[in-house]
Structure 1
Amino acid sequence: MNLFEKWRANRRENIPDFKLMTTEQMSFWLGRFVMEARKRDGTEYPPRSIYLILCGLLRYLKDNGVYDKNFLDENNGEFTDFRKLVDARMKSLIDKGFRCSLKQADPILPKDEETLWQKHVFGKESAEQLQHTVFFYACKVFGVRGYDEHHDLQCEQFTIGEDSAGRFIQFSGRATKTYKGGLGHLNVQSKNLRHHSSPGDRCLVDYFELYLGSLGNTGAFYRRPLPPTDEEQIRFGQQVVGVNKLKSFMKTITQKGGLKGNFTNHSGKRTCATQLYMNGVSEQEIMRRTGHRCEKSVKKYKRSSEQIEMDVSKILDPPMNEPACDTDPPRKKN
């Protein structure tokens, strides 16, 4: 809406208030806006951005009680010409080389994960190293979301236990983007996941147990790491990790490991879904881990990995031109 208002002010014409426009006025001025709106640097918006901007304007109308001017509804014949203009505009941008694809966070593949261990980005030699390890595996193992769910995590949501299959970490989810509780979610359950980990140097149960113990097993899950002392190697303060610091965890981890790609905190959840998908786990189980409520949503995470793309490329490549074999036996020299 701010973008529309800036465009409206620069137009220096008597353009009515957006929510007070008639259907004809809205169709006309929205069309001009779609054709003329530009980024701050003067470049054009990609096709998908135009659509999302229009969705934002439509949301603004509904928030202000205007429900009879849904200009994106195909059944609304009053905005047919406007939708044709938007369609033509988006197609023309595609012809100019714009793409409609989303810039998605990259998953961390097994070979990259091994690199992070080899380069000691993961481990328990320091409080920061341990915190980064626990952060990544909270994403990968329990499908914890990029920032919002991490920010609200409490130590009490994690329990260390043991059953006939061995030691495990139990995670109990709370309110998230896909689960709010209340009347609308009476038939939806929050996450309740159990992860068993094999004994060894990389046993996640040991890492989470050490981390939780360093926090006193209570309170905020992410707190500021403190320098070691002669008595304690792993120490954390009472100050909660700041918003910006928490948002940059995955970027910090991947930069320390020298990984190349578009890595954000959402890469952790994508790693969870991608690695399960690569190993043939059912969509139902993937949804249970990630917290998605429909298959359509989780299918967005079914992104081809680099290894899969390489295998497909090899299959579709031309046959190799192998050198001809000389079947005649070598002649003996006299």
Structure 2
Amino acid sequence: VPDQDERAAELSREQNEKTIRSTQTALRNFREFLISKYPSETREIYVIPCKELDAYLASFFVDARQKDGSEYEPNSLANYQCGLERYLKEHRYGYSITRDKEFKRSQEALKQKQIELRCKGKGNKPHKSMKLTFADELILRKSLVWLNNTKAFGHCTGFHGSTLKWGDIRLRVTETGLEYLEWMGPDNGDVNAKSKRGGTDSRVYATQHSPQTCPVQDYKEYAQRRPPAMRYEDAPFYLSIKPVVNLAALHWYNCQALGKNKLAKMVKTMCEKGNIPGRKTN
């Protein structure tokens, strides 16, 4: 039928135009980010080697902000990744930034950032009428500390969530009064890792301009809610939650380590509580 064919053609054109605009927006925002953070990088992105481009993308997904300084929505970051994928494919780039292992770093950065944003209330939640219980909040609070630790210290030699001790991460203050967390865990005899001890690779600093997303504030809140008996250096870092607890209680956690199975399912739990669709793993 001619009318149906014309309508189908019109819808196809509209969809193509929408896809083109989406690709252009992703490319423009990524280029603006590169100019602001890496001003010496002037190459077209389709000629940048995969290792360098992967690092740029990981930085973009973690640090990029909108023009008003606010963070992007989780879905926006995923759309940007898809838009850049289309652009690179058009220019016959040799890798897929969404699938290939050469871009694992940026893929993980995007996944972790989406989880972080969802935990902090960003994104369109499909079940708005389903309010989080206080128990859910506790799970997300602890999950956020786990996420902060993994992002900041996951690259450090000897970092293992299931064996992490309270003394492995220390709260410190610089000479100028800026608080930071420092990885003090075992180096497992790695000479290169030892040389990094005390360097910026083993530290994460407070974000004073954004206390709601500050890893140091999350750590201090978690420390305050731990039982005093579990604040010694060799105590397990992650503790199980008390079965019955309320906001008035000073301590929200047991004197018992979080089980390995629950720790292994941390990302899945965060996604379920934060209404993030899709299959996610640690």
Q: Please give the range of the TM-score, normalised by the shorter of the 2 chains.
A: 0.3 to 0.5
Q: Name the TM-score, length of structure 1 as normaliser.
A: 0.40
Higher helix share: 2
Please identify the structure whose Cα radius of gyration is greater: 1
